[in-house]
């Protein structure tokens, strides 16, 4: 498939790694999810990601994944690009999900590496090329070795990028050196999105396209301000915001993935409901520690950000 260069121009900035909303019984809460998406677009994010890792794709059945994509496309209504997680363990299932996402009308397929398996670099590149050849959508390779045990090396990305419509990488490895190497494999061409908030500012400064960000699910406006500051070469402002968000990043360790971000969202009035079992809510003492972190950042956003932005 041919690269879609017109679409590439819209693919940048802060994208929410949107959690999936569940009700108290663990069922999909479509109304609440729709409200979350609308709220993020209204907050000024540059894109919305759905059915990714933070969206608990691994506990969703196929019908639920596709329904989330439908709701997101409807709610966004073309205002920002929709990035949809379409990866699976097998190449066959990844193709089926990607084609379904294309028919729904998403803008980008975000294809995570196969997990549980340990494909070689050659097998991994062939997997991605085969999926990309089956769709007209731009494809982001989704690298998340802490979760999958599989790493997309810069050489594998370069192999995939030479043909088809593989346009870049969402990198959640946390490896800044590797992120820079992605950019160097295709100067001016690799759309690199940070999936790890700890190095988002650094990757942006190196020329990354943006971030598919967990922190943006809690503080979307603050993340957008940081992105704008880096793009304006105002690194002092960007660093102040980045440093203010650091306690939230450290707080992810308070509980099992992905419950902490959901409870942090609840603290700011964006309740997405619980994580699906077997993940359970934070115990009260840890929830109190998380609440203190969130409130500190809210105070920074209320007081410091207008001053440093000139608002």
Binding site residue list for pyruvate: 212
Q: What gap in Å lies between CA 154 and CA 148, rounded to an integer?
A: 17
- Contact by Cβ (8 Å): 90, 52: no
Phi, psi (deg, nearest 5) at residue 202: -65, -45
Strand, helix or coil for residue 183: helix
Q: Is 170 annotated as catalytic? A: yes
Does residue 278 have a cis bond before it (omega within 30 degrees)? yes
CA end-to-end span of the chain, whole Å? 45
Task: Give Dmax (Cα) for the chain.
Answer: 53
Residue with token string 């907050």: 43
Q: Which of 201, 212, 206 is nearest to 245 (CA)?
A: 201
Q: Is 157 annotated as catalytic? A: no
Of 40, 83, 142, 227, the active-site residue reads: 142
Q: How many CB atoms neighbour CB 250 within 10 A?
A: 11
Cα three-residue angle 286-144-88, rounded to 5 degrees:
110
- Contact by Cβ (8 Å): 85, 140: no
Exposed/middle/buried for residue 39 (C-beta within 10 Å: 0-12, 13-18, 19+):
middle
Task: Establish how many alpha carbons lie within 13 A of residue 97's alpha carbon, considering only the half-sphere containing its beta carbon.
Answer: 32
CA dist list (Å): 309 to 136, 219, 252: 40, 16, 28
DSSP state of 17: E
CA 151 vs. chain centroid, Å, equals: 17
Token reading at 165: 């419509």
Q: Which residues are catalytic?
A: 142, 170
């Amino acid at each position: 498939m041919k690269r879609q260069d017109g679409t590439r121009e819209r693919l940048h900035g802060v994208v929410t790694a949107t959690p999936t909303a569940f009700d108290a019984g663990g069922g999909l809460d479509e109304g609440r999810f729709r409200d979350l998406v609308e709220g993020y677009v209204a907050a000024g994010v540059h894109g919305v990601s759905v059915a990714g890792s933070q969206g608990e794709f691994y506990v969703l059945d196929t019908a639920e994944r596709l329904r989330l994509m439908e709701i997101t496309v409807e709610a966004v209504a073309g205002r920002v690009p929709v990035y949809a997680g379409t990866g699976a363990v097998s190449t066959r299932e990844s193709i089926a999900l990607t084609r379904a996402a294309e028919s729904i009308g998403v803008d980008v397929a975000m294809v995570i590496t196969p997990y549980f398996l340990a494909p070689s670099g050659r097998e991994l590149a062939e997997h991605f090329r085969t999926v990309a050849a089956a769709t007209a959508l731009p494809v982001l390779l989704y690298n998340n070795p802490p979760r999958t045990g599989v790493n997309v090396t810069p050489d594998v990305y370069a192999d995939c990028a030479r043909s088809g419509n593989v346009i870049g990488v969402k990198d959640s490895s946390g490896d800044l050196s590797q992120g820079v190497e992605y950019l160097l494999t295709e100067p001016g061409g690799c759309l690199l999105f940070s999936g790890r908030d700890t190095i988002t500012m650094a990757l942006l400064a190196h020329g990354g396209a943006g971030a598919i960000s967990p922190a943006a699910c809690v503080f979307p406006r603050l993340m957008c301000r940081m992105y704008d500051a880096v793009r304006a070469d105002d690194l002092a402002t960007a660093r102040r915001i980045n440093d203010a968000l650091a306690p939230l990043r450290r707080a992810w360790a308070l509980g099992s993935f992905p419950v902490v971000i959901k409870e942090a969202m609840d603290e700011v009035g964006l309740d997405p409901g619980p994580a699906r079992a077997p993940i359970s809510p934070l115990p009260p003492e840890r929830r109190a520690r998380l609440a203190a972190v969130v409130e500190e950042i809210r105070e920074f956003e209320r007081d410091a950000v207008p001053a440093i932005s000139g608002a």
